[in-house]
Amino acid sequence: MPASYIPYEPDQDFLLPPSLKEWLPEGHLAYFISDAVDSLDLGAFHARYAAGGPRNQPFDPAMMVKVLVYAYATGVFSSRKIARKLHEDVAFRVLAAGNHPAHRTISDFRAFHLKEFSELFVQVVRLAREMGLVKLGTLAVDGTKVKANASRHKAMSYGHMVKAEAELKAQIAGLMERAKAVDAAEKHEPELDVPAEIARRQDRLQAIQQARLRLEQRQREAELQRGRDPDDPPRGGRYKRPFGVPEDKAQENFTDPDSRIMKRSGGGFDASYNAQTAVDEAAHIIVAAELTNSGSDAAELPRLLAAVKRDLGQAPAQVLADTGYRSEAVFERLAHSGTDLVVAIGREGKGQLPFHAERKPHSAAMAAKLRSPEGKQAYRKRKWIAEPPNGWIKSVLGFRQFSLRGLHRVTAEWKLVCMALNLRRMCTLSAA
């Protein structure tokens, strides 16, 4: 007797339109994101299309936001991959409800609405607070280096720039002389499109000169901040070179000039950005997400606290931070902020650095706080609060490199990533 199977008819069409709710199980992340986006104010997205005008009929912004947020929440960051998922992935098809925007449309929508996505991050944090997932009792801040969308092969050191400039100028001068040569002399030379070669080298020379000027401007600003007078001659210590002249190894990237060379974990260096997060203790919700192209965290603590107070209308009771945020100037600035700071003085396992109480009273007071039982107990929570979200972003979502370029754009993309992680976290906790 032949085996009896459940009917399988791959060529059978649906007689009636199927219900999208039958395609995904109840409680799926796609449904949660859809409901969450529907509860947000998308007026800023719609405002871009309110004026009308001669153009193709746009896709509904609510659908585009849902698709992009779900894509980031599930580790899909490329616009081409998102477009492909809209045909192949059931959850994407449910959110798009039969729409299939091209990858260029998805990319443009993300690029055109950077400010709006940044504002959505704030709305999601407020939504998490309404759900009871944000208490603003204890926050922990942390920074992580995220690779820029920049080729390491399209970067050049200051020393090499100076050398390449001289070489290109000599080549351009030689080509100009060759262009002036008589026709008879050119008969004995290999065929060469001299004007095109001159233009190519001039474009390269201009790019290198602009990069060199940016490096020199940054060097001048850094030395002025450290208190160096422009008329100071070179001397020992940190001022071995003339004012405004970078070290030979200082680099500039041509594909994303806003990125900076930063040390990555595990060794080596990459063109990167320094992404900052402030995480609430209650449910590991990221309540502030900022970004800088400075490798140092020292000046970021006031910025993160200001973002929390601006967006939620309340300062946290306590903030925990590692030694990278240690700064006498920052401690002085936040002394009367109403927030209890617990910032490490020295590396973990290396002991605390000694401070002269008269020269650095705030650092000395912080060191004393960390020696107290209360300070030790509070600081022990820092790793548990601050580091998991950065680990989830890189290991669960798989976000290790920005898709956009430029400080303004990658800041908005970082907020989009953190918003997607928050929604994923909120979905998990709401189902528990």
pLDDT tens track for 38-50: 999 999 999 888 8
Local structure of 270: helix, strand or coil: strand
- Higher-scoring residue by pLDDT: 148, 247: 148
Can you tell me the distance from the alpha carbon of 91 to that of 30, in angstroms, rounded to the nearest whole number?
A: 6
Give the number of other CB atoms < 10 A from CB of residue 221: 11
* Statement to judge: residues 324 and 241 lie in one domain: no
SS3 of 369-428: HHHCHHHHHHHCCHHHHHHHHHHHHHHHCCCCECCCCCHHHHHHHHHHHHHHHHHHHHHH
Kind plus residue range of the DSSP H or E element containing 251: strand 251-253
Can you tell me the distance from the alpha carbon of 253 to that of 285, in angstroms, rounded to the nearest whole number?
A: 34
Give the number of other CB atoms < 10 A from CB of residue 304: 25
End position of a domain, from candidates 213, 233, 253:
253
At 50 the pLDDT is: 80
Residues 6+ apart with CB under 8 A from 376: 370
Local structure of 248: helix, strand or coil: coil
- Tell me: pLDDT of 19 over 50: yes
Give the number of other CB atoms < 10 A from CB of residue 361: 15
- Give which of 266, 220, 267, 208 is closest to 246, Cα–Cα: 220
* Statement to judge: residues 208 and 309 lie in one domain: no
Task: For residue 423, tell me if it sits in a domain.
Answer: no
Which residue segment(s) compose the domain that 86 sits in?
Answer: 20-112
Which one-letter DSSP state was computed for residue 3? P
**Digit-coded pLDDT (tens) for 193-244:** 566 766 776 666 666 666 667 666 666 766 666 666 666 777 766 677 776 6
pLDDT band with cut points at 50, 70 and 90 for residue 188? low
Q: CATH no. for residue 357?
A: 3.30.420
- Higher-scoring residue by pLDDT: 181, 191: 181
At 232 the pLDDT is: 72
Can you tell me the distance from the alpha carbon of 142 to that of 146, in angstroms, rounded to the nearest whole number?
A: 13
| Pairing verdict, β 138-147 and 269-280 | antiparallel
- Count how many domains the chain has: 3
Residues 6+ apart with CB under 8 A from 241: 234, 247
Task: For residue 354, tell me if it sits in a domain.
Answer: yes
What is this structure's pTM?
Answer: 0.82
Helix intervals (H) in 237-338: 300-312, 328-333
Beta carbons of 24 and 94 less than 8 angstroms apart? yes
Q: Which residues pair with 146 in a beta bridge?
A: 273
For 139: left if phi > 0, alpha if psi spans -120 to 50, otherwise beta; the answer is beta
* Statement to judge: residues 277 and 397 lie in one domain: yes
Task: For residue 129, tell me if it sits in a domain.
Answer: no
* Statement to judge: residues 144 and 157 lie in one domain: no
